[in-house]
Structures are given as C-alpha cells and as structure tokens.
Chains A and B, each alone.
Chain A
Amino acid sequence: MERVEIDANLKKVFCELFQMTPDQINYESTPDTIEGWDSMAQIRIIASIEEEFDVVISPEQQGDMLTFELIGDITEELVN
C-alpha cells in the first residue's frame, strides 16, 4: 500500500476520534497539538489502526508511536 493511501486512512481514523478535518492533521501532529490525544485516546488509535489495516501492533511499536509521522512509518512497515 502506498504511503499516500496509508496517510489518508490514518487521517480518517484521526478525524473520527478527534472530530477534526484532514487538513488539520500533518506529520508534525503530536499529543501536544491535538486536543484529546491522551493515553486513553492512544489505546483507541492503536485499536482502530489494527482494525482498519488488519495488522497487530506490538507494545514496543506502540511506545514509538508519538507523532502522526511515526504512526505512519510503523503502519507502513506493518502493511507492506
């Protein structure tokens, strides 16, 4: 899967979870820049990505998912 497509699907997940539009999200987005991205939301993000892309994210990878770009990197690794 192309990175563009992965990013689009990830943005869809973020929009559903944080009630925002895709243009409000970029690679620099972090828990500090998105309201509501706390530890509980992190669990939802992980669960949603696993369901959306049919992948399994390990606790180690979870720990690294600290920005939208890193989330994309790890998802890309898992799906390809």
Chain B
Amino acid sequence: MSTPFEILGDACNSENQDAIKETLRQFLESSPTSSQYYAAHKKISELAEKSGLKNVKLTVVTSFTADLLTQPLFLHQYLNGINLTLQYVPYDQWFLALSSKGQIDEFSPDLVFLLLHLNDVAPVISYSHLMDWINVTEEKEKFLKSLFSAISAFQQRSDATVIVGNFCSQKPGFERYFDLNTDLSKSQMIEDYNRELSSFCSTNNNILTFDYSGIVADYGRASWFDNVRNFSNKSAISSKAIPSLARELSNFLNSIQRPRKKVLAVDFDNTIWGGVVGEDGPMGVRLSGEYPGNAYHAFQTFLKNLSASGILLVATSKNNLEDAKEVFDQNPSMPLKWEDFVVHKIDWADKYLNLKAAADKLNLGIESFVFIDDNPVEIAMMRQFSPDVKCILLNGSPANFQDKIVRTGHFDSPTLTSEDFGRTLSYQADKKRGEHEIRTETIEKFLSELGLEISVFRSSNQDISRIAQLFEKTNQFNFTTKRYSLSEVTEMTQIDGIDLISFALKDKYGEYGIIAVVVLKHNEGAATIDSFLMSCRVLGRNIEDAILAVIEEVARERDADRLLGLYSPTAKNQQVEGFYVSKGFEGIEGSDSDCMFQRTLSAKTIYQIPPHTHISYPGES
C-alpha cells in the first residue's frame, strides 16, 4: 500500500489541482517527517509558481530559530489558495529589524509574525525571579516598552498586519507547586505580560494578538520545547511540534484573509435536541438532565453564543410548524428562543430550496451559509444541489457537535466589531420592518414612516475596521468591488486628495451601524467615485439617492466641476449596472472591462436628499 506521501507525489506528477489538494490534505494529517515535508514543499512550490495562486509575503521574526516552519506553513497555505513567500529575520536581530529600516522593508511583507520567548528576552522572570524579584517588574516594563516602540516604529514604515504571539512559561521549574501560593508568582507575572500585550494590540487595528500559549498548552508544554536544541543551536521548538504551530498559524492567517461565514442553518430533531418532536412531543425530547440531554443543552448554548458573535441562525427543519414551535413555547429547558432564529423554514420542502429562500430574504449570498444536520441524506442532498453551502454532518455524540463546527474554521475571525455583536438584533428589527412593509400601502408612505436617519462620517477617526469589513464582504451593491485592506483604508484617511466617507443608518426599529462607504478621489476638477458600496441589508430604501446627494455636496466643497462614476461588472453586481445612467450621467470612454460615467456639475444642486431621510454630520461643526 502506498503512503500518503507517495500518493501525493503521484498526484503532483498528474498536475491535477483537485487531486493535489485532496492528497495534500491527507498527507498533512499523516504526521509527516521533516524530510517528507521538505520533499513535498519542493514539489508543490514548483507547481505553485504556475498555478496563479494569490501571492502573500510573510516575515517571521522570532527570538530563536524556527526555519523548519517554512515547509508545513507553505503547504497549509497552499491548501487555502495562497502561494506563501517567507522571510526570516535572524533571531538576534528582532528588535533592530522592527525598529529601524532595513531587511524587512526591503522584503515588503503583507504580514509579519512576531514570536518571542521570554527565555530569550526577559532572563530575570525566566531564570532568576526568586533571587531577583526586585527587578522582575522593572524588567517587564522595560522589555514591553521596547517591544511596543519597535512595533510602532515598524508600523510607521509599513502597512503590513503584525501578528504577535503572546507569552508562555516554558518548562515548570522547582517552583511549580508553590508558585501560585506565593507573592512572587512567575505565572501571574507572565499573565501580566500578556494582559499588557493584548491591550497594546487592541489599540491598533493592524496589530493582532495570536494565542501562542494556548497552542503550546494544547500540544503539551513538556514536549513542545526542545531544551537541548535550544542551548545547542537555538531551535527552541521541537521539530515534531513545529508542524502544529504551522497549522495553527495558517488557520489564523485564513481568518484574516478569508471572509467569515455569515449564516448557520440549523436542523432541529437530533441536532439541537435528542429525539423527534413529532414522536416524542415537546416535553419528551432530550434537552436537560442526564446524558444526552445535557449535551444537547450545552450545544444550544454554544449556538446562542455563536449568534451573539454575529452569526445569523436560520431554522431549517422537516417538521410540522406547530410541533416545532411547541418545543420553544412549552419546554422550559430550551436555551435557544424562537426569536434567536432570524428566518424559520419549518416545513417539508427540500432544504436546499428553503436555504435559497432564506438567502433571498436576508439579501445574502448562499455561499455565506453553513448547514448542520444529523442526517447524512440531507447533507448529501445539500452538497449535490447547493454546492456553495458548507455542510457539517453532526453524527455521533452530541457532546462533540461543537468541536465539529469549530474545527472547520468557518466562523473564525481575528477580531469582532460592534456590528458583529449587534447583528442578530439588527436582523430581528429587519423582520419587524418587513411586517410593517406588508401593512403599509405605498412604498413612499412606508419609507417616510421608517424615520431613516443617516449619519455621515468624513474625519480620520472613523470605524476603520468596520469599513474594511464592508470592502471585504460587499458584493452586490458595489460598483467597483475594490477590496481595500485595513491598512489601505487607514492610509486613505490620511491622503489629502481622497475623501473616505462612511454612512451609518438608523430607523425607528433600531440601529444598523455603518452600512455604506464611498471613496471620492479628487483630481483637477474631477471628483471620481472610486468606490461606492452599500450593505445589501438596507436596499430598497433609496439610501443610495441620499448618498449621491452627499457625494455632490462634498465634490462641490472641493470645487469639482464634474463627477466621474466607475463601474466594473462582476458576477454579482448587476443591480448597479444602470445606476449612473438613470441618474443623468453620460457614458464615456473607459478601459475594456470597466465603464466610466460623467456628470457635469452646473451651478445648481442636482441631487436632493430624499424627503424620507434625514442627514446629520456627527462630530463636525
């Protein structure tokens, strides 16, 4: 029988991308040796050159030698469609390389991964804290100050996102039993290091903390570090543990590079409770008490918490609506409430059709959906008829359901914004708006009763992370689909010839937060609408008309005599195709794929704020 390594070799020779990815996945799960990683990397990096993957450059800055990271990290990133190029900074140069211009600047990375062991940078807390306690705090303050200043200095010169591993204690010493029972606690002090690190990182959108100590703990601290090699050649992490670091780092990078899924579609029977409600009745399903009821109860709590992090829950269950609803109404052990689901599709229709309808209702693409079910037939059918939905089969013990979902990484995200926290509430309010829409006779009347209030933000202290998120996620109402990164957005707020304008919306049902962004570039009398995008949740309220009026106003302030609108067609943004023409713009010469439209600004204001919206400029006089 062939080994996964040999099968991968055959797949590489075939040059069939799907076969390579599948065999590579199996290879990575087979605990390869260093030399196998090396050989696989050699083969696949040759293919990567030709395959048109996205190129990403990463600089690794460590206080020890970690060169063995190259091969497994490259291979994991390859699986995610990325051709990774790595640079290592020699271990004794981390401070210099960050704080002053040099090797990193020449490489010009997209990302920097900074991982320091306290052994290398803070000897007192690492080796002599008991005899030297008087210096422990001073060492911490001095070291963190220089670390933070080095990172800040680097950020002045580069847009790269900096990922900083937190600190962990290495092998426990003779203090292991008394440490937490004394005032001179090493582990408490290391927690202080990490608290200060996290709070430093959270002040800047472009610095992220990476839970290195958690990864070390998961693997097992005793076998993570190679004490002998650390002394003999500075290879502080054992060669067997390095692939685990590569895998976790790669997953973390994915959470930055790939948009998070937005919706979890949830089956009911034997998924969120044990048993079948149609047979067991609302009080007979297993939800509390002994196993497996307690496991289903815990799983529901997990789903509720997931929804609090901004993931929308959709109910999809083959049941009589009344039966399913009775569990929510009557069973007191349900952590999930009926309203926690933003859409309910409880009937006997095929689930892929129901998810399609839910996607339309939420104005979201089906590719942002994840579907969970205990029934392999439902999962297979979804994969067959709606292949863009990610499916997770929840079979086996309900105690493992949560892990099965977490392991997919679909809901990973390096940070959460305030919009994430309020998303479910905001969609629940949408639902009430929808009910209102049905009752109101004309659309004008409906809109005027909504009490739409738009806040316009232009200064440099806007919600940059939310704006970057909109650039990343908006597909439909998006004229140019330019994916500006966090650092590019930050930069735009500082350039004089560019207006970055963001729009927040609220109405009588609640707040939506930032829902639209415009980038207006000024050049010799022309105000070019470089980007114009709006969350699909607020379509149909003529917000775009109000935004156009604001654009005109800003352009006039800048003494522009004409507006230029750009449109780059994609598979998803047809709805904006005719917008500029319908607003009186004329088509002019553009490049082959992009269209350009022009509207001359005469003395008189062209675009009026629609009467059903109210505009304000918070923070401006």
Contact = CB atoms under 8 A, between A and B. Distances in A.
A51 B228 contact: no
Contacts of B39: 15-17, 19
Contact of A51 (B33, B67, B231): B33
A17 B228 contact: no
Contacts of A45: 35
A71 to B, nearest CB: 13
Interface in A22-53: 40, 43-45, 47-48, 50-52
Scoring B38, B68, B228 by chain A CB atoms within 10 A of each residue's CB, the highest score goes to B38
A13 interface: yes
A59 B232 contact: yes
B198 to A, nearest CB: 33
Interface of A is mostly: helix
Contacts of B228: 56, 58-59
B67 A47 contact: no
Interface string B17-40: 000000000000000011110110
A44 B42 contact: no
A13 B229 CA distance: 21
B234 to A, nearest CB: 10
B67 A43 contact: yes
A6 to B, nearest CB: 15
Interface in B11-68: 33-36, 38-39, 42, 65, 67-68
A21 interface: no
Interface string B111-149: 000000000000000000000000000000000000000
Contacts of B65: 43
B239 A13 contact: no
Given A17-B39, A19-B39, A44 B232 contact: no
A44 B320 CA distance: 62
Contacts of A43: 65, 67-68, 233, 235
Contact of A62 (B42, B232, B240): B232
Contacts of A47: 33-34, 68, 239
B35 A13 contact: yes
Contacts of B235: 43
Scoring A40, A47, A50 by chain B CB atoms within 10 A of each residue's CB, the highest score goes to A47
A52 B239 CA distance: 12
Given A17-B39, A62-B232, A48 B67 contact: no
Scoring A16, A48, A58 by chain B CB atoms within 10 A of each residue's CB, the highest score goes to A16
A17 B67 contact: no
Contacts of A13: 33, 35
A16 B38 contact: yes
A50 B231 CA distance: 18
B237 to A, nearest CB: 11
Contacts of A17: 35, 38-39
Contacts of B233: 43, 59
A51 B226 CA distance: 14
Nearest to A63: B232
Contacts of A50: 239
A44 B229 CA distance: 13
Nearest to A17: B35
Given A19-B39, A19-B42, A40-B67, A51 B232 contact: no
Contact of A48 (B34, B229, B231): B34
Contacts of B36: 16
Interface in B203-228: 228
B34 A51 contact: yes
Contacts of A56: 228
B240 A44 contact: no
A52 to B, nearest CB: 6
A48 B33 contact: yes
Interface string A1-19: 0000000000011011101
Scoring A15, A44, A45 by chain B CB atoms within 10 A of each residue's CB, the highest score goes to A44
A48 B231 CA distance: 19
Given A43-B67, A43-B68, A59-B232, A51 B239 contact: yes
Interface string B485-507: 00000000000000000000000
Interface string B319-349: 0000000000000000000000000000000
Contacts of B34: 44, 47-48, 51
A47 B229 CA distance: 11
Nearest to B233: A43
Interface in A53-69: 56, 58-59, 62
A34 to B, nearest CB: 14
Contacts of B68: 43-44, 47
A13 B39 CA distance: 9
B256 to A, nearest CB: 29
A18 to B, nearest CB: 9
Scoring B35, B38, B68, B229 by chain A CB atoms within 10 A of each residue's CB, the highest score goes to B35
A58 B152 CA distance: 41
Contacts of A16: 35-36, 38-39
Nearest to B231: A59
Nearest to B42: A19
Contacts of A44: 34-35, 38, 68
A47 B235 CA distance: 11
Contacts of A40: 67
Nearest to A40: B67
Contacts of A12: 35
Contacts of B229: 59
Given A43-B233, A59-B232, A48 B35 contact: yes
A33 B79 CA distance: 36
A30 B469 CA distance: 54
A56 B238 CA distance: 11
12 contacts: A19-B42, A40-B67, A43-B67, A44-B35, A45-B35, A47-B33, A47-B239, A48-B33, A51-B33, A52-B35, A58-B228, A62-B232
Given A13-B33, A17-B35, A47-B34, 17 more contacts: A13-B35, A16-B36, A16-B38, A16-B39, A17-B38, A43-B65, A43-B68, A43-B235, A44-B34, A44-B38, A45-B35, A48-B35, A48-B38, A51-B33, A52-B33, A52-B35, A59-B233
List the 5 closest A-B pairs by CB distance, nearest first.
A47-B239, A59-B232, A48-B35, A16-B39, A16-B35
Interface of A: 12-13, 15-17, 19, 40, 43-45, 47-48, 50-52, 56, 58-59, 62
